[in-house]
Amino acid sequence: MGLFRTYAAEAGAAIRVAFADRGAFMLQAAGMAVNNGFVLAMWFLFFAGFKSIGCWKLADVALLIGLLANVVGVAGIACGGYRDLAAAILRGDPDGMLTQPKAVLARLLARESSLTAWGDVATGLLLLAVFAKLTPAQLPWLVLALACGLVVYVSTAVLFACLAFWIKGARSLARDLTDFVIMFSSWPGSVYSGATKLIVYTVFPAGFIVLAPVSLLRHPSLATALTLVAAATAYAFLALSAFELGLRRYRQGAAPTSGGS
């Protein structure tokens, strides 16, 4: 409970700092919402000419993009440090935290909050409320889907950032890999098959961030729900283990090697 209180206090402070300049907040949040609007307009134009992609219709794509926007948005608001976690490691930011009894990873994640992420959340909520054809009875499934997708997304980003413990050039590499996760998560599941389907359920886990959640909301089942919970638990465990392993190496003074991009 002490860990959660520390995390909540630091995340709350980061959000208050982000809100300090109201003008900048409004401009950046609105800018992201407008940017998302252009992407959505392309999908609406596509479905004006084509009724479906495989078995995916406009409402299904709206659900997928709505889930993704909320996951990325909440991640940016509540643990925005994930985006530059690799850079923080390479700068030596954990040094001052190692002398304190608080969890280093939680503090690194919570100390930043993204302004543009609010635009993502606004876009996501609009899509889920208006276009995704959800019912109030599906709200518990929606909360579970978003929670699991959020854990998998942030955990994957942390795993990529942990490359910084071993590779000097991991900052841009980690960000690029995280952007690949978002890219893979923004397409309907019907476009993936064979090797690409394996990739979106492992290395770039769009399958657990949005595809399985869409399946859960369209065809609720205990098996799908348990699969999502298991995936979220597994990715969280992998991320925590990788970070602790890297931090142990960091404490020993081992420098990352050259490489990455």
What lies within 8 Å, CB to CB, of 149 at 6+ separation is: 67, 68, 71, 208, 209, 210, 213, 228
Q: Give the tokens for residue 232.
A: 């979220």
Check residue 103 and give its pLDDT: 84
* Position with higher pLDDT, 233 vs 21: 233
The confidence score (pLDDT) of residue 25 equals 64
Residue 20 CB neighbours (<10 A): 8
pLDDT in tens, 142-176: 999 999 999 999 999 999 999 999 998 898 999 99
| φ/ψ of residue 260, rounded to 5 | 80, -160
End-to-end CA distance of the chain: 39
Give 246 or 24, the one with higher predicted confidence: 246
Domain ranges of the chain: 2-260
The C-alpha atoms of residue 162 and residue 171 are separated, in whole angstroms, by 10
Residue 108, pLDDT score:
93
Residue 201 pLDDT grade (very low, low, confident, very high; cuts 50, 70, 90): very high
What is the residue-averaged pLDDT of the chain? 89
Residue in 169, 163, 175 with CA at minimum distance from that of residue 242 = 163
- Are 170 and 161 spatial neighbours (Cβ–Cβ below 8 Å)? yes
Q: What is the arithmetic mean of pLDDT over 248-257?
A: 84
- How far CA 139 is from CA of 68, 144, 146, in Å, comes to 16, 9, 10
206 burial level (CB within 10 Å; 0-12, 13-18, 19+): buried
Give pLDDT, residue 254: 77
Residue 65 — pLDDT band, cuts 50, 70, 90? Answer: very high
**Whole-number pLDDT of residue 2:** 57
**Element spanning 231, H or E:** helix 222-251
pLDDT at 101: 64
